């Protein structure tokens, strides 16, 4: 019976060791799981921050494109206005040249009459 008791004690000891090891493994696994969850939360926050930053950058780029389009329209309007003013200026210059020629002709006629 002592053999049986010794055998039983030995078996109980092994079971206790296995149980203790299992408890230790479960604790380590829980710690690892907790660490992984915390890391995942940190990464999720970082991802959220990066996504917000990206959205702000995209909004900024969109604003820049709108501003570029507005400036292009303004530039085209200014170019068209310049062309219109250039045409008007050429007409005025032509008209003034004609008046100057007429005046020169009249001045010559007046000198001729005065000299006679």
55-78 pLDDT, tens digit each: 999 999 999 999 999 999 999 999
Does residue 77 lie within any of the structural domains? yes
Does residue 55 lie within any of the structural domains? yes
Does residue 111 lie within any of the structural domains? no
Does residue 67 lie within any of the structural domains? yes
Query: In the structure encoding, which two tokens stand for residue 46, read together?
Result: 């970082």
66 lies in which domain range? 1-82
12-36 pLDDT, tens digit each: 999 999 999 999 999 999 999 999 9
Indicate if the pLDDT at residue 113 is higher than 90: no
Give the pLDDT of residue 94: 98
Does residue 64 lie within any of the structural domains? yes
Give the pLDDT of residue 67: 99
Does residue 56 lie within any of the structural domains? yes
Does residue 104 lie within any of the structural domains? no
Please list, in sequence order, all residues whose beta carbon lies within 8 angstroms of the beta carbon of residue 98, skipping any fewer than 6 positions away. Answer: none
The rounded distance, in Å, linking the Cα atoms of 18 and 71 is: 77
The rounded distance, in Å, linking the Cα atoms of 50 and 56 is: 10
Does residue 75 lie within any of the structural domains? yes
Indicate if the pLDDT at residue 116 is higher than 90: no
pTM: 0.54
Residue 26 C-alpha from the chain's centroid: 48
Number of domains the chain is built from: 1
């Amino acid at each position: 019976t002592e053999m049986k008791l010794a055998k039983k004690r030995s078996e109980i000891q092994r079971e206790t060791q296995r149980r203790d090891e299992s408890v230790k493994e479960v604790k380590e696994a829980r710690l690892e799981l907790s660490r992984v969850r915390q890391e995942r939360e940190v990464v999720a926050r970082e991802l959220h921050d990066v996504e917000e930053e990206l959205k702000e950058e995209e909004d900024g780029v969109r604003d820049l494109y709108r501003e570029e389009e507005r400036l292009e329209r303004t530039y085209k309007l200014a170019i068209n206005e310049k062309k219109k003013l250039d045409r008007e200026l050429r007409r005025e210059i032509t008209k003034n040249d004609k008046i100057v020629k007429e005046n020169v002709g009249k001045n010559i006629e007046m000198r001729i009459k005065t000299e006679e």
